Copies of this chain bind each other. A is one copy, B any other.
Amino acid sequence: MKIITFGEVMLRLSPPGVERFAQTDTLEMHFGGTEANVAVSLAQFGCHTAHVTCFPDNPLGRTATSYLRRYGVDTNYIQYAPGRLGLYFLETGAGSRASQIIYDRAGSVFTQIRPDTIDWESVLADADWFHWTGITPALSQGAADCLLNAIQTANRLNVPVSGDPVYRSNLWQYGRQPQEVLPALTEGCTLVLGNPGLFNHLYGITETDIEAAARALQRQFPRVRYVTDTSREQLSASHNRLSAWLFDGQQTYQSPTHDIQPIVDRIGTGDAYMAGLIYGLLTFDDLQRAVDFGAAASALKHTIPGDASLATVEEVETLARGDSSGKLKR
């Protein structure tokens, strides 16, 4: 089972524990990016995953590659070019104090990626899935074009495509609007993550009911077979409730709700859902089991430091089966 992901990977710098920026003299170093997080999670499930990206040709770029390799992601398709690595600074909150992110990704080497430099035919040749998110087309024209190439190639090769058309208003600085760019990308998707509000904003879908909006999305983009999303009740930075749903054009499969306390690391929990769901769809013949696996994967990520889930299939299945007792394993 081989899954391809594409997108920027940033260096994440965060104070130890729940310290504030102003009081620390040390920063913990992780790497992350929404698509790469999906790849890392899937690699822990035993899948062959390869991440396509562009890193600076310096020790930091090589360290970023090391990070992906360490967790078992194939790094053979990574490009290296002069430039800077995108960064983000994360302050982890607790209780009523929110976590806070400061992005410093503008002008990173990834935004300078050239669409003609990746041979998607060969990257996707034997792939079973391709995953993208709305971050990539928001970064630069080159990144958007590169992604469109990827999706169209995947479609040509009959590789299923999942898209998470997340919208971040502080990106999209290169002169295009998401509404101009995202429809063509969504067009090629088998699976789309989102909710009626997002679909309204991006695609002009006016239905506000989940199933109705999902059906409207499928009408607009006939290749879309599955629509999915998580829903989250945020009681505090340390306590959330989370569930997920999956619509297959006919019915909605709803996962149980996970009560998550404490939250160790909130970042990447949506990516862990996507990884779990992709794994579920590729592995199980049972959509309920797939969405339950995804929701459990996301719930578990909240207990794991760093951007990407390092949970195994066995751990996710234990939780998906309803055992949240945290019983010591000897």
Listed in ascending order, the chain A residues whose CB lies under 8 Å from chain B are 13, 17-30, 58-60, 62-63, 66-67, 69-72, 84-85, 87, 89, 91, 93-104, 106-107, 168, 170, 234-239, 258, 260-264, 266-267, 299-300, 302-306, 310-311, 315, 318-319, 324-330
Contact, CB under 8 Å: B262 / A95: yes
Give A66 Cβ to nearest chain B Cβ, in Å. Answer: 5
User: In the assembled complex, which residues on chain B have CB atoms less than 8 Å from the CB atom of A69?
Assistant: 69-70, 72
User: In the assembled complex, which residues on chain B have CB atoms less than 8 Å from the CB atom of A30?
Assistant: 25
Contact, CB under 8 Å: B328 / A101: yes
User: In the assembled complex, which residues on chain B have CB atoms less than 8 Å from the CB atom of A29?
Assistant: 24-27
Contact, CB under 8 Å: B234 / A261: no
Contact, CB under 8 Å: A236 / B97: no
Contact, CB under 8 Å: A26 / B23: no
Query: How many chain copies?
Result: 6
Give A110 Cβ to nearest chain B Cβ, in Å. Answer: 14
Interface pairs (21), CB distance under 8 Å: A13-B27, A18-B304, A22-B62, A23-B25, A25-B28, A60-B89, A94-B262, A95-B261, A95-B264, A96-B258, A96-B260, A96-B324, A97-B311, A97-B315, A98-B325, A98-B328, A98-B329, A101-B328, A234-B325, A234-B327, A238-B261
Contact, CB under 8 Å: B264 / A18: yes
- Give the 3 A-B residue pairs with the shortest CB-CB distance, closest first: A237-B326, A70-B70, A234-B325
Contact, CB under 8 Å: A238 / B326: yes
Contact, CB under 8 Å: A326 / B25: no
Contact, CB under 8 Å: B304 / A101: no
Contact, CB under 8 Å: B236 / A324: yes
Cα A266 to Cα B326 with chains together (Å): 11
Contact, CB under 8 Å: B261 / A329: no
Contact, CB under 8 Å: B99 / A326: yes
User: In the assembled complex, which residues on chain B have CB atoms less than 8 Å from the CB atom of A66?
Assistant: 22, 70-72
Give A21 Cβ to nearest chain B Cβ, in Å. Answer: 5
Contact, CB under 8 Å: B63 / A21: yes
A65's nearest neighbour on chain B, judged by CB, is: B72
